[in-house]
Structure formats: C-alpha cells, structure tokens
Amino acid sequence: MQIIETVAGVKEQVAAWKAAGLTIGLVPTMGALHEGHESLMEAARAACDKVVVSVFVNPLQFGPDEDYDAYPRDIARDGAVCAAHGVDAVFHPTPEEMYGPAFNTYVVMEALTDALCGASRPGHFRGVCTVVTKLFNIVQPDFAFFGQKDAQQLAIIKRMVADLNMNLKVVGCPIVREEDGLAKSSRNAYLSPDERQAALVLSRAVRAGEAAVRAGERDAAAVKRQMSAIIEADPLARIDYVEVVDGATMQPVNTLGRSVLAALAVYIGSTRLIDNFIYEEGE
C-alpha cells in the first residue's frame, strides 16, 4: 500500500490504473479511522478493483470556534488500518497541497445546505462540497463511499454529483454502532467516561423515534417531542437540533411520508455528536 502526499502522485497512479482498465473506489475521510470507516473500505474493496482512502482534515469545513486544531491526527495508525483492509493507496495531502496560496474557487450549493448542520455550522458545507469536488477531480473514482451517519452530507454530495454531471456513483453505507448503540465517530474520543455514558441518549432517542414510527406515528412534531424528551432528561446533553425533514430537500415536514430523515445533533459537554434514522414510506 502506498501513502501518497501529492496531487500529482495520485493522478499518476490513477492514470496507470485506468490505462489497465481497472475500476477505482474512493473513501474520503478526515482520518482518526474507526469501524465505520472500515465498513466503507470493505464496501469499496468488494465493488472496485482499486481502493483509495483520502486522509485529510479539511480546514474549509471548520468554523472559527470549532475543533480543527484539536481534531485527532495519526497517519501511522490510519495507514495501518487501511493496509489491513486491502486499501491500495492513501492520499494524505497537506492543506498547502490542497489549497495553494492563490486558491479562490469554492463549490456552493444553494439548497439542502441551509438546514440541520448547515444552519448550525455556517460555511461547513461549502467546505465539504469544495474538498469533495477536488477529491473527485484528483482521484477520478468510479464509486465514492460515504456513511449514513452524515445523512445530510450524503444527500448533498449525491445532489452535487447529479447537478454537475460528475462521472461517478455515490454509495451510502449504513451507520456502524458501538455495542451499546452509540454511533461510531472520531469525536467520540473527546468524551470523558461520564460523557460517554451520557452520549447514549442519542441512540436511545433514535430508537424511540423509530419505534414510534413503526407503531404508526406519522406526526413529525410528536416524533420530535419524544426524541427531544429523552435527550433533555440527561443533564450533560444539550440539543443543537432535533428535526424531521424531507429526505430529498432537507426541509421540515409535518407528516411522515415518502422518504423522511429524522436527524439530531447534540452537545455532550463540549463535544457535538450527530445521529439519525430514515423512514421510507412502505417499509
């Protein structure tokens, strides 16, 4: 397995693979790899001849008071994880390699980005769309794999690929959870033991919302109240948002129908975590 630090190096390797008629899968990450990322690598390995994992903590998607400097970085460990899952190349550029001193071009989506995490983190999805577009242009993958935990991000990237006629397929993969239900996240490492226990309110709220829907509840406000009550009961938890939105537009709905995303973001102490479930009409 190679660890490649330059755009030119990745392009050279990709050109050789494509000349040999091989398909390429890309797993974009910010490192601090966990079992959720590993599931994406396995999906890519099963679908593609060659797998590239990008490990890049993207400064454009962090706000001024967010955790860019503190975000965990360990390329030696991440490289070992990738090698263990049959990854062919890790793309690990510096910010200077990705964004030169004259960089001045950004990808901005007018819709889908103004709700949920987009409302809480202004400019976040401009950074996501910009870096993902650059990764797609550099790696030229046939398939790109993203986790369902970041459901709004997944919907935005699928829309961007469709709108800009990008020549790849975006594949969404299921949320991977700890044994006690907490969704795998690199930010879980920030939690103290007490906060780690408190963080279980996210998955409990998700399970309660799913159970209510399975039992026939279709009123979005009722689902939100039930989920919110569980989170509010823990003194270490502070709600950023609990929303039920249309899965295609990310806009709030009053009644569950077609494809609906129930999503939440919660601060456990100073750590912001997200979780969700999707309801498809007819399931």
One domain, residues 65 and 195 = no
125 occurs within a structural domain: yes
Element (H, E) at 50: strand 50-55
Residue after which a domain boundary falls, among 173, 202, 224 = 173
Chain centroid to CA 272: how far? 14
One domain, residues 111 and 191: no
| Total count of domains within the chain | 2
124 closest CA partner among 265, 237, 269: 265
Pair 132, 234 in one domain: no
Q: Give the position of tokens 């044994």.
A: 179
In the predicted model, is pLDDT for residue 244 greater than 70?
yes
**Does position 61 have pLDDT exceeding 80, yes or no?**
yes
Whole-structure pTM value: 0.96
When pLDDT is averaged across residues 61-73 and rounded to a whole number, the result is 95
Final residue belonging to a domain, choices 141, 173, 205: 173
**Spatial distance between the Cα atoms of 64 and 255, rounded to a whole number of angstroms:** 37
| Catalytic residue from among 34, 37, 92, 124 | 37
Q: Write out the H or E segment, with its range, that includes residue 276.
A: strand 271-280
Average pLDDT of the chain, as a whole number: 97
CB 124 within 8 A of CB 117: yes
What pLDDT, in 10s, does the model give residues 3-37?
A: 999 999 999 999 999 999 999 999 999 999 999 99
Instruction: Work out the percent of the chain whose per-residue pLDDT is above 70.
Output: 99
d(CA 154, CA 62): 18
Mean pLDDT of 81-91: 98
3-state secondary structure at position 83 = helix
- Rounded mean pLDDT, 244-269: 95
pLDDT at 34: 97
**Average pLDDT of the residues in 193-218:** 97
| Average pLDDT of the residues in 86-95 | 98
Domain that holds residue 194: 186-277
Query: What pLDDT was estimated at residue 281?
Result: 79
What pLDDT, on the 0 to 100 scale, is given for residue 283?
Answer: 64
Residue 37 is a catalytic residue? yes
Contact present, 53 and 146 (Cβ < 8 Å): no
